[in-house]
Structure 1
Amino acid sequence: MLAGAVYRLGQIEASINSRIKAVETSVLSAIDQLKDNVADRLYLLEKELKVHTTEYEGKKEHYDYRINDFDNRLEHKFKRLSNLIKQLAGFLNKESGFVLRDDEY
């Protein structure tokens, strides 16, 4: 009877070990699948981030060019206006003795 009990105990232990091994295998495979899924998602997110970063840099460069062009045109207009004021002040001074009170002109 003692031998039968030891035999039965051995069977139960083997059954428990096989179940533990099955659970361990399923947990490890689930972890591997999740790891692969996370790695794929991170790769896709990194690619999307690179695309958006490149797009942002392109837009920023475009806006920099537009702002620079606007600054150049604005500076040109002010220079023309300044020259016109100087010419008018010179003409008015010559014709009627008019003097602008601004030190710049």
Structure 2
Amino acid sequence: MKIDINNALTIISGLLLVCGAIYRLAQVEANINARIRAVETNVLNAVDELKNNFVDRLHTTEKKLDIHLTEYQGKKEYYEYRIHDFDSRLEHKFNRLRGLIKQLAGFLNKQAGFVLRDDEY
């Protein structure tokens, strides 16, 4: 069997062409993988930055909320103190008035026989 030079050159050039195509496909695949890694890195960096920004904002909001809750608690205690003080003063005034009415009713009953028609007195 005699190998013809034309056939040998065709086979060799075909093999070189296939090797070149495989090499070029490998380069394209490597380029695509590099771009995917770059995009993945950029996305991960952006997510980390957004996460850090979100955590900072959440921490700041939590501080502000703690401050407002503390202010609310202080105001609530102050108003409860003021309301209790007002209630106790009002109760004291009514107790004095009740005592005065009882004294007057007793005096009027003793002097003129006057009887209050209210059941409480």
TM-score (norm 2): 0.85
- The answer to whether structure 1 residue 26 and structure 2 residue 42 are counterparts is yes
Q: Which residue of 1 aligns with 2:101?
A: 85
**Among candidates 63, 87, 90, match of residue 47 of structure 1:** 63
Name stretches of at least 5 consecutive residues in structure 1 with no aligned partner.
none
1:46: how far off? Answer: 0.6
Q: Which residue of 2 aligns with 1:71?
A: 87
1:91: how far off? Answer: 1.3
Q: Distance in 1 between matches of 2:47 and 2:30?
A: 25
- Local SS of the residue matching 2:40: helix
Q: Distance in 1 between matches of 2:116 and 2:21?
A: 120
Q: Distance in 1 between matches of 2:120 and 2:20?
A: 116
Q: Which residue of 2 aligns with 1:36?
A: 52
Q: Distance in 1 between matches of 2:65 and 2:39?
A: 38
Residue range with higher mean Cα deviation, 94-103 or 43-52: 94-103
- The answer to whether structure 1 residue 3 and structure 2 residue 10 are counterparts is no
Identity %: 69
Q: Distance in 1 between matches of 2:37 and 2:64?
A: 40
Number of equivalenced pairs: 105
Relative contact order: is structure 1 or structure 2 higher (C-alpha 8 Å, sep ≥ 6)? 1
Q: Distance in 2 between matches of 1:59 and 1:97?
A: 54
What letter corresponds to residue 20 of structure 1 in structure 2?
I
Q: Distance in 2 between matches of 1:84 and 1:66?
A: 27
1:44: how far off? Answer: 0.5
1:3: how far off? Answer: 1.0
Instruction: Mark the structure with the bigger radius of gyration.
Output: 2
What letter corresponds to residue 64 of structure 1 in structure 2?
E
Q: Distance in 2 between matches of 1:42 and 1:60?
A: 26
Name stretches of at least 5 consecutive residues in structure 2 with no aligned partner.
1-16
Q: Which residue of 2 aligns with 1:96?
A: 112
- Local SS of the residue matching 2:120: coil
Q: Distance in 2 between matches of 1:84 and 1:7?
A: 113
TM-score (norm 1): 0.97
